Structure 1
Amino acid sequence: MGDLIEEWAARVAEAELSGTLPQRWARTQGVAKRAVEVGHALGKDASLLVAAATLHDVGYAPRLAVTEFHPLDGARFLRDEHGADERLVRLVANHSFALLEAEARGLREELATEFPLLERPLLVDTLVYCDMTTTPDGDRTTAQDRVAEILSRYGDDSVVGRFIRRAAPEICASVERVEAAVAAQPR
């Protein structure tokens, strides 16, 4: 079943992103590659991680951008159009401390009510790791450099800039926890 969810996620993400947002599709593929690289640390949840990494930015697709908040738009799309697994939908909705950005956008209650956080800290951290160690072009980077890149693109005073500055310590802590968990796993 693991390969099936990963293949389905890749088809959905490619269909929604590759034609309209080719750079976002390249980034998505890079995030999914990170998930494959570190997924062994999650055991049975490895395929769920890869699927979530592949779909985490699907809400950027122009036809899906209803609220202009991609975690919420993507999660609603996966739930409503695809009847996707609830854990997958909740991971997409809450990836990379989305609740903090939702708060800045006045969408915190909506996100938290519709898509409560998963109670799998390592799984949630690992999706943060995959997302925040990948550049806009899909290449590997550090979390610190990714945060700096986001700030330079959006600006300090934008909603995204304020969110990413607030989330940066948590992002770095998640990345450190994942790196430690991966290092502790036998290969």
Structure 2
Amino acid sequence: MNESMRNWAVQVAEVELNVVLPRRWAHSKGVAARAVELGRTLRGDADLLVASAVLHDVGYAPRLAVSGFHPLDGARFLRDEHDADERLVRLVANHSFAFLEAEERGLRETLEAEFPLLDEPLLVDALVYCDMTTKPGGEPTTATQRIAEIVDRYGADSVVGRFIRRASPQIFASVARVEAAVSLQPR
């Protein structure tokens, strides 16, 4: 992964989201900005993190929404239309504990079969951190505030509301691990 991949990812996300879902595009840019901040922590995977951050919600684009589950739709789009890097595609497919939402939707086996979770804990945690500490409009927030906002927006008894409440302990743990890793970096 390199800077050209990062630039490609920004272009793809902008084309798919900017006009049809400007708020989702704002969130994606904010998540990518958080990823840039973590660059030193991830060293060689900094560009991969930024690319996955800007593309994590591309599956919301109406033309891509086949299954109605944005992580799966986005990953399939990146794999099938762009022959994207496998690690990138797997990060998009599994961002922010998507397997738990997939389970709520009866799609967990499909997600896991097509896009197994990467065995790269810091990278996976970093994408969770970036997504779950960025508001819908792209501004930074805390994971606690972000989860509350998601529950409020979708409703506690919705598929997303149930998923995010189930995932919250894991989200908080991921955020704490990233914050600990960042605090260990020399300034």
TM-score, normalised relative to structure 1: 0.99
* Matching residue of 2:126: 126
Whole-angstrom distance in 2 between the partners of 1:186 and 1:130:
20
Deviation at 1:71, TM superposition (A): 0.2
AA aligned to 2:25 is W
What aligned pairs does 1:144-183 form with structure 2 within 5 A after superposition?
A: 144-183=144-183
Task: Confirm or deny that 1:22 pairs with 2:59.
Answer: no
Deviation at 1:19, TM superposition (A): 0.7
Task: Confirm or deny that 1:82 pairs with 2:82.
Answer: yes
* Matching residue of 2:40: 40
Deviation at 1:186, TM superposition (A): 1.4
Deviation at 1:66, TM superposition (A): 0.4
What aligned pairs does 1:72-111 form with structure 2 within 5 A after superposition?
A: 72-111=72-111
Whole-angstrom distance in 2 between the partners of 1:184 and 1:2:
25
Identity value in percent: 72
Deviation at 1:46, TM superposition (A): 0.6
State the aligned residue count: 187
TM-score, normalised relative to structure 2: 0.99
Aligned CA RMSD, in angstroms, stands at 0.6
Whole-angstrom distance in 2 between the partners of 1:40 and 1:163:
31
Q: Secondary structure at the match of 2:4?
A: helix
Residues 107-161 of structure 1, C-alpha deviations (whole Å, 9 max, x = no match): 0000000000000000000000000000000000000000000000011110000
AA aligned to 2:154 is Y
Deviation at 1:40, TM superposition (A): 1.3
Q: Secondary structure at the match of 1:186?
A: coil
Residues 3-42 of structure 1, C-alpha deviations (whole Å, 9 max, x = no match): 1011000000000000100010011100000000012111
* Matching residue of 1:65: 65
Q: Secondary structure at the match of 2:38?
A: helix
AA aligned to 1:112 is E
- Specify every segment of 5 or more residues in structure 2 that has no aligned partner in the other structure, as ranges: none
Whole-angstrom distance in 1 between the partners of 2:43 and 2:27:
25
Whole-angstrom distance in 1 between the partners of 2:14 and 2:186:
33
AA aligned to 2:106 is G
* Matching residue of 1:50: 50
Residues 86-110 of structure 1, C-alpha deviations (whole Å, 9 max, x = no match): 0000000000000000000000000
Whole-angstrom distance in 2 between the partners of 1:186 and 1:56:
29
Structure 1 residue runs of 4 or more that deviate by more than 3 Å after TM superposition: none
Whole-angstrom distance in 2 between the partners of 1:185 and 1:4:
26
Whole-angstrom distance in 1 between the partners of 2:129 and 2:80:
27
